């Protein structure tokens, strides 16, 4: 079994100009619960997740990704990771210390190769959560985050070398090279995806629902509310998960998904898929086709937070 310092994805933190509109979207339409709020910052939890929160919103002049947070098993693992990054000459934003966010814990922040802020933490208190019931079409937990990178190979290699991520599958073609890499830190097919794009930005943020019926009911609720459906509903081949991509009020793509593949890491070998095969994008054939216009929409705006640490 693969031994890693990181265990799972905790939360994604977003900065947006229209704070109230974005908060309303997540808490009313998307199905998250506001657990803490103060001075233009809100922490939103998923009812089925033990994580204190899965999304943090911060009011800011510029739209940006504040950070992606991953968990570790112990404080010793946090210290070991910090020492590893320092020895490799990587840029730390902070040193391991007590965290002041809900649930506390011990962690630190650093920049990845593209300038995104990454946070890692351990000993965060778990949140009281519950089993999501049948037909309850709200997120169980945060599933994965996919980011755009102008150099997909370099970014993937950085996460493999420094954070022990492993490649699960890749999508590309002979004339483009890889356009999507799916990386894991546990048996879930991917917690992080890296897409080839013209600039660093958020590609999409994905939330797990209870099952297929809940996935479709959630998709329908967003459609009835007039939310723009970017892509879906369908079922990917890499990861075997369902997808419905929606555009949030600030142009970020948010996904409902379910039934992500769990791998036997001892025997798994990555597939090299081609996007020229339509079943790779959508096994069901129910989603709108992937094309250049859709690809540009998923590229998102240039991230204004590259190599700029969030103020909180």
Together in a domain, 289 and 167: yes
Phi, psi of 115 (to 5 degrees): 95, 10
Mean pLDDT of 205-215: 98
Residue 179: inside a domain, yes or no?
Answer: yes
Together in a domain, 220 and 113: no
Residue 154: inside a domain, yes or no?
Answer: yes
Q: What is the pLDDT of residue 218?
A: 98
Q: What is the pLDDT of residue 2?
A: 60
Q: What is the pLDDT of residue 174?
A: 87
Residue 77: which domain range? 6-122
Average model confidence (pLDDT) for the chain? 97
**Which CATH number fits the domain that encloses residue 220?**
3.10.180.10
Q: Is the pLDDT of residue 1 over 60?
A: no
What's the rounded Cα separation, in Å, for the pair 61 and 15? 8
Residue 309: inside a domain, yes or no?
Answer: no
Q: Is the pLDDT of residue 125 over 60?
A: yes
Q: What is the pLDDT of residue 50?
A: 98
Q: What is the pLDDT of residue 3?
A: 81
Residue 311: inside a domain, yes or no?
Answer: no
Together in a domain, 77 and 150: no
Together in a domain, 186 and 270: yes
Mean pLDDT of 62-80: 98
All residues at 6 or more sequence positions from 180 whose CB lies less than 8 Å from its CB, including other chains: 146, 152, 170, 171, 172, 193, 194, 195, 196, 238, 275
Counting residues of the chain whose pLDDT is more than 70, the rounded percentage is 99
Together in a domain, 149 and 278: yes
pTM greater than the 0.95 cutoff: yes
pLDDT digits (tens, 9 = 90+) for 10-20: 999 999 999 99
Together in a domain, 172 and 222: yes
Closest CA to 25 of 304, 228, 209, 212: 228
Together in a domain, 24 and 65: yes
pLDDT digits (tens, 9 = 90+) for 166-183: 999 999 998 899 999 999
Together in a domain, 107 and 147: no
Residue 305: inside a domain, yes or no?
Answer: no
Q: Is the pLDDT of residue 242 over 60?
A: yes
Together in a domain, 60 and 152: no
Residue 95: inside a domain, yes or no?
Answer: yes
Together in a domain, 207 and 83: no
pLDDT digits (tens, 9 = 90+) for 129-168: 999 999 999 999 999 999 999 999 999 999 999 999 999 9
Q: How many independent structural domains does the chain possess?
A: 2
Q: What is the pLDDT of residue 230?
A: 97
Mean pLDDT of 178-198: 98
pLDDT digits (tens, 9 = 90+) for 99-108: 999 999 999 9
Phi, psi of 240 (to 5 degrees): 60, 25
DSSP lists the bridge partners of residue 247 as 253
Q: Is the pLDDT of residue 272 over 70?
A: yes
Residue 281: inside a domain, yes or no?
Answer: yes
What's the rounded Cα separation, in Å, for the pair 26 and 15? 14
Of 122, 151, 167, the domain-final residue: 122
Together in a domain, 145 and 290: yes
Together in a domain, 118 and 258: no
Residue 28: inside a domain, yes or no?
Answer: yes
Of 61, 87, 122, the domain-final residue: 122
Q: Is the pLDDT of residue 49 over 90?
A: yes
């Amino acid at each position: 079994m693969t031994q890693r310092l990181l265990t799972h994805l905790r939360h994604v933190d977003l900065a947006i100009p229209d704070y109230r509109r974005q908060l309303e979207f997540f808490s009313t339409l998307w199905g998250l619960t506001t657990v803490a709020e103060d001075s233009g910052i809100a922490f939103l939890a998923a009812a089925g997740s033990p994580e204190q929160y899965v999304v943090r919103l911060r009011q800011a002049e510029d739209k940006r990704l504040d950070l992606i947070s991953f968990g570790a098993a112990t404080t010793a693992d946090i210290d070991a990771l910090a020492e590893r990054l320092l020895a490799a000459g990587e840029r730390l934003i902070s040193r391991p210390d007590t965290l002041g966010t809900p649930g506390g814990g011990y962690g630190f922040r650093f920049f990845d190769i593209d300038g995104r802020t990454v946070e890692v933490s351990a000993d965060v208190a778990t949140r009281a959560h519950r089993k999501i019931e049948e037909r309850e079409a709200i997120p169980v937990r945060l599933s994965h985050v996919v980011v755009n990178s102008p150099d997909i190979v370099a970014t993937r290699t950085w996460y493999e070398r420094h954070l022990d991520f492993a490649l699960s599958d890749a999508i590309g073609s002979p004339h483009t090279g890889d356009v999507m890499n799916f990386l894991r830190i546990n048996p879930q097919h991917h917690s992080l995806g890296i897409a080839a794009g013209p600039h660093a930005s958020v590609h999409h943020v994905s939330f797990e629902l209870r099952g297929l019926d809940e996935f479709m009911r959630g998709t329908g609720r967003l459609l009835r509310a007039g939310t723009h459906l970017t892509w879906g509903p369908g079922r990917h081949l890499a990861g075997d998960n369902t997808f419905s991509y929606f555009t949030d009020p600030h142009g970020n793509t948010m996904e409902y998904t379910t039934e992500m593949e769990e791998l036997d890491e001892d025997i798994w070998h990555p597939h090299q898929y081609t996007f020229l095969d339509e079943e790779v994008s959508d096994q069901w054939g129910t989603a709108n086709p992937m094309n250049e216009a859709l690809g540009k929409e998923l590229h998102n705006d240039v991230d204004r937070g590259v190599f700029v640490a969030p103020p909180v």
